[in-house]
Amino acid sequence: MNETIRLLKAHRSVRKYDGRAVEDEKVEAIIEAAQWSATSSHYQAYSIIQVSDPDKRRLIAGVAGGQQWIVECPLFLVYCANLKRSKTFWEGLDPEVLGNTEMFIMATVDAALAAQKAFIAAQSLGLGGVFIGGIRNDLKTISSILDLPELVYPVFGMCLGYPAENNLQKPRLPKDVIHKQDGYSEEGDKALIADYNNLIRCYYSERTGGKEQFNWSEHCGSAMMSKTRDEVGEFIREKGFGLR
Ligand SMILES: Cc1cc2nc3c(=O)[nH]c(=O)nc-3n(C[C@H](O)[C@H](O)[C@H](O)COP(=O)(O)O)c2cc1C
């Protein structure tokens, strides 16, 4: 194993920070690393908004269900899918195509790839953090806080800072459940996921001193039902991502 893979495999989310600011040169390095993500057809259809204004942070934390680490982290970034730049700067474009589902996927993927690269860069610099999908609890309010125009939507946020905690790593699905050969298959998954459910039950129990006793299937089902965000589709369409 090399240093890069060791870093990738040491991943865990960090929600508590020690109060130190993130140095400007590190912020710059993180953003530059994000820029070197692969991007569909060189479109670079994303924007990264650094939010430093404490009032905006408080409002965003409120939208995300009171996630205090959004207020406390020294560096908070919001990754947006951005097709507005395409409409403004690209030549020979029929703006109608920007409403295609394909363009929505492309811009969302671009934002996510940039975010993951930024996250890894941050971890390599001794920082830790957590992605914040909770901003999608109310995309309208987030868009208004960040002045987002048509064809720009916030995919997720990201808290970064120097870690003040070192959580147990959350075990992942067995490799054979996610890695298949030559085509889709669920062969063997049932037994593997049953074992994994036992492992996750032990993990949550250990992490919470026995207070939480749920497995992966229970956790995911209940998490998904608690945030179905049924209004996201309508909002995205209002922003001009037509999803045709
Ligand atoms: C797109 C995305 C959105 C997430 N949103 C939140 C969030 O709003 N709040 C939070 O505390 N964690 C959030 N997370 C972190 C996940 O809960 C976490 O990555 C997952 O439980 C696995 O734990 P680990 O990162 O410590 O391995 C998010 C992760 C991703 C990738």
- Ligand 1: atom nearest CA of 13 is 26
Distance 86 CA to ligand 1 centre (A): 30
User: Can you give the C-alpha Rg of the chain in angstroms?
Assistant: 20
Ligand 1 atom index nearest CA of 135: 8
Atom of ligand 1 lying closest to residue 170 CA = 27
Check residue 118 and give its pLDDT.
Answer: 99
Q: Is the domain defined by 3-167+227-238 classed in CATH 3.40.109.10?
A: yes
**Measured torsion, CA atoms of residues 70, 12, 123, 23, in degrees rounded to the nearest 10:** 30
pLDDT of residue 224: 97
Give nearest CA residue, ligand 1 atom 9. 132
Tens of pLDDT along 112-137? Answer: 999 999 999 999 999 999 999 999 99
> pLDDT confidence of 244, banded at 50, 70, 90?
confident
User: Atom 27, ligand 1: which residue's CA is nearest?
Assistant: 12
Residue 242 pLDDT class (50, 70, 90 cuts):
confident
Task: Locate CATH 3.40.109.10 in the chain.
Answer: 3-167+227-238
The answer, as to whether pTM is greater than 0.95, is yes
Average pLDDT, the chain: 97
According to the model, what pLDDT value does residue 116 have? 98
pLDDT of 243 strictly over 80: no
Question: Which protein residue has the closest C-alpha to ligand 1 atom 22?
Answer: 170
Position 204 pLDDT exceeds 90: yes
CA separation, residue 3 to residues 6, 33, 176, 221, 242 (Å): 5, 17, 24, 35, 43
Q: What are phi and psi of 104, to 5 degrees?
A: -65, -45
Confidence at residue 197, expressed as pLDDT on a 0 to 100 scale? 98
Which pLDDT does position 49 carry in this prediction?
99
For 146-168, what is the mean pLDDT?
A: 97
Task: Please tell me the distance between residue 170's alpha carbon and the centre of ligand 1 in angstroms.
Answer: 11
Does the Cβ of 66 fall within 6 Å of ligand 1?
Answer: no
Ligand 1 neighbour 76 (Cβ under 6 A)? no
Q: Is 170 in the pocket of ligand 1 (CB under 6 A)?
A: yes
Q: Give me the mean pLDDT over the 25-37 stretch.
A: 98
Q: Is the pLDDT of residue 179 over 80?
A: yes
pLDDT at 219 over 80: yes
How far is 153 from 147, CA to CA, in rounded Å? 10
pLDDT at 79: 99
